[in-house]
Amino acid sequence: MRADILFPINAEAFTYLIPEDLESKIKAGSRVLAPFRRGKKVGIVQSTQHRIQNSDLKKIKLKSIDSVLDDEPLVPEKLLKLIQWVGQYYMSASGLALKNAVPSAFFTGKKAGKSRIVYDEEIKEAKALDLTAEQINALSEINSTDKGVFLLHGVTGSGKTEIYIRAIKALPPDREAIVLVPEIAITAQMIDRFRVNFGDSVVFYHSGLSIGERITQWRKMRDGEVKVVIGVRSAVFAPFNNLGLIVIDEEQEASYKQFEGLRYNARDTALARAQLEGIKIILGSATPSMEAYYNAKNGKIRYLELTKRIEQRPLPGVDIIDMTKEEKQTFSLSNKLLNALKENLGNNYQSLIMLNRRGYSPFFMCTDCGHTYKCPACSITLIYHKDTNTLNCHYCGSYLNPQEMCPTCKGTRIKYLGTGTQRTEEEICSLMPGLAFKRMDKDTTQKKLSHYRIIKQMEEKKIDVLLGTQMVAKGHDFPNVTLSAVISADIALNMPDFRSAERALQLFTQLAGRAGRGEVPGRAYIQTYEPEHYVFDYVRGHDYKGFYEKEIELRKELSYPPFSRLLRIIFSFKTRDSADKTVKVISNRIRKMNPPSSHISKGGIEILGPSPAPIEKIRNLWRWHIILKGKNAKALRQAAAVILDKIKDVKEMKIDIDVDPINML
């Protein structure tokens, strides 16, 4: 007999012989030790095949498996199928999908350490909540079937989480559930809500866990010791054997997409898993992705709507602050917002502020000659971080120490322009002394459980004002927050991407929705230098449907998703010269593929490029890309495969494939 073995590397399965004494022990999903190159490697059995003729064996010269490491298969068969689907759909290798799905420690032999995850010791008693009529209707629809896709479209504060919990409780006792959230920060409150309802039969799973903790949680899921897992992206690969329901909270979020290596989307992978396993899946959002809402309107998925907040609480009023006219205390803080913050503090309520740019200042510029400090490895400006006194690149992680003299003109008039979370923190604290203030961004949440602690301090009202990047806008439920604000809304509006308006609306609506979730009505303030932008008309009225009707017409006109599918091929080169030369070769070969009179191929695939990527250089690599546009996902992948085949002999470049890209930078 022989077996196809998958290793956690960028490759497909390798075929090995099974020694006779191991034939009865080897099953799909088992770990084995096998010779690999000059050493030995741990892999997973993908499949086994029956005995082959001895004459064939002589021709093939297969190596034999050394040993089997598990009495029972480690990876469930259903998960193996999902791993293969991910590899095929995202035009990657199944080995990379395996690497993302199964903790690396299972292949390196590291042992599970003692869990250091600390929650509140006491599991509080669940409060009896009365459901609204809309919640009852939505829940009865979900519970009336064992499979299918539901879009739960509910305004912020309408009780979507309660529906998730009750839908899981309604599953048969032997069935399990996956709950995906877009940010680690959200898991803090989610974990508490779910522990109240499910006790110790819920675990959480994300990249912030130590190796030992990941193994421990993974084995608990694999062995059926828990019923629910809450996690970010990688939790979609939870090794449950009897999955009954998947929930994707904030389904529209870009953070479900992995942007490097295997560029999978956890939301779409979850949809595929639900279909493969014949189970149901809930996509929850106050501001659904255009694709999900379009599919719901066209009857492809079932639509459930919650139009009212629980206990009839009003949605917050939204003030759009015109920064071109408003009196300002600093570049980024208007008097109007500052006065509102002071009044809110005086009334003993909390405030939440979002500025989606970390660091102190995004531009470090010589005002004598206009020189801006850029990353030597990437074609983007460096962000000044005052706490470390460094100029940091948020793409490659490199940094420079700022000099007092300009490297171009030797001038000394260096200015910090623009604002980041560090600078805004400094300004607010100097203008409002004595404030209990916290900042939540990537820089302040490096330590283990730091998200959890900040969220706990907010819940316990130990923080007056919480400022942060977009992680503060999503999913949190703080009843004492009555004011939410966006500083520099223009950052979201001016991204060079066809989805920028959609993302801006989602982000502003989410942030506004954090206010007024308790007894007192809330208010949201959005500061912008572009108050006439059409997005604000819909944010003001919490009018997602109105925005959708306008945006869908623009998408239709340009044939962008949901009216087409996209696939992006990214080429990376070590030098600009080699990029220019090689791209000419690629262009010529692509041109010969298609009729010269048209850029539309016979299969209805439109090929755009090659052209320089908007961020042309990252980590010392020069980047070009091709974007394929078409109606059919399979036809797109086939067209991409043809292009890759035509250029397979072209050397000195790295190729990345991004199926269904959500970021064109």
HEC secondary structure over 14-63: EEEECCHHHCCCCCCCCEEEEEECCEEEEEEEEEEECCCCHHHHHHHCCC
Q: How confident is the model at residue 651 (pLDDT cuts 50, 70, 90)?
A: confident
How far apart CA 51 and CA 60 sit, in angstroms, is 14
Which amino acid belongs to residue 616? E
What pLDDT, in 10s, does the model give residues 206-226?
877 888 889 999 999 999 999
Domain boundary (494, 522, 557) is at 557
Cα angle value 662/377/569 (rounded, 5°):
35
Using an 8 Å Cβ cutoff, are 641 and 567 in contact? no
Place of tokens 């508490």: 192
Q: What is the pLDDT of residue 43?
A: 97
| Residue 504 and residue 580 in one domain | no
Predicted confidence at residue 491, as pLDDT, reads 87
Using 50, 70 and 90 to split pLDDT, how confident is the model at 296? very high
Q: Which uninterrupted H or E stretch holds 153? A: strand 148-154
Q: Would 505 be classed as within a structural domain?
A: yes
Quote the pLDDT of residue 584.
93
What is residue 109's predicted lDDT score, i.e. its pLDDT? 78
Residue 327 sits in the same domain as residue 455: yes
- CATH number, position 650: 3.30.70.600
C-alpha distances (whole Å) from 658 to each of 573, 625, 663 are 17, 10, 9
Mean pLDDT, the chain, rounded, equals: 91
Q: Which residue, 275, 278, 233, is CA-closest to 258?
A: 233
Helix or strand run (H / E) with residue 284: strand 280-285
Share of the chain above pLDDT 90, in %: 73
Give helix 133-143 / helix 160-169 axis angle, nearest 10°.
40
Residue where a domain stops, chosen among 75, 108, 141: 108
Q: Name the pLDDT band for 74 (thresholds 50, 70, 90).
A: very high
Q: Which residues contact 69 (CB under 8 A, 6 or more apart)?
A: 30, 31, 32, 33, 42
Question: At residue 139, what is the residue type?
Answer: L
- Which structural domain, as residue segments, surrounds residue 67? 2-108
d(CA 467, CA 447): 18
At 344 the pLDDT is: 97
- Determine, yes or no, domain membership for 114: no
3-class DSSP state of 483: strand
Task: Compute the average pLDDT of residues 574-579.
Answer: 94
- 137 and 283 in a common domain: yes
Mean pLDDT lowest among 7-11, 123-127, 215-219, 220-224: 123-127
Q: Do both 460 and 591 map to the same domain?
A: no
d(CA 189, CA 204) in angstroms, rounded, equals 12
- Structural domain ending residue among the three candidates 498, 528, 557: 557
- Beta-strand pair 176-180/437-440: unpaired
Specify whether 456 is located in the same domain as 347.
yes
Q: Quick check: is 113 in a domain? A: no
| Same domain flag for 347 and 253 | no
Contacts of 429 (CB under 8 A, 6+ apart): 435, 437
For residue range 153-177, what is the model confidence (pLDDT) as tens digits?
A: 999 999 999 999 999 999 999 999 9
| CATH code, 337 | 3.40.50.300
Q: Enumerate the β-bridge partners of residue 205.
A: 231
664 assigned to some structural domain: no
Using the 8-state DSSP alphabet, how is residue 129 labeled? Answer: -
Are 520 and 603 members of one domain? no
Helix or strand run (H / E) with residue 202:
strand 202-205
Q: Which band of pLDDT confidence, cut at 50, 70 and 90, is reported for residue 118?
A: low
Looking at residue 208, its pLDDT comes to 75
Q: Which of the residue ranges 106-110, 182-186, 472-476, 596-600 would you say has the lowest mean pLDDT? A: 596-600
- Same domain, yes or no: 484 and 615: no
Provide the domain count of the chain: 4
- The answer on pLDDT for 600 being more than 90 is no
For residue 300, is it within any domain?
A: yes
Whether the predicted pLDDT of 79 surpasses 90: yes
Q: What is the pLDDT of residues 388-438, one digit of tens each?
A: 999 999 888 889 998 889 999 999 998 888 889 999 999 999 999 999 999
Query: Taking residues 123-134, what's their average pLDDT?
Result: 81
121 part of a folded domain: no
Q: Residue 262 domain-assigned? A: yes
CA 124 from centroid of its chain's CA atoms: 31
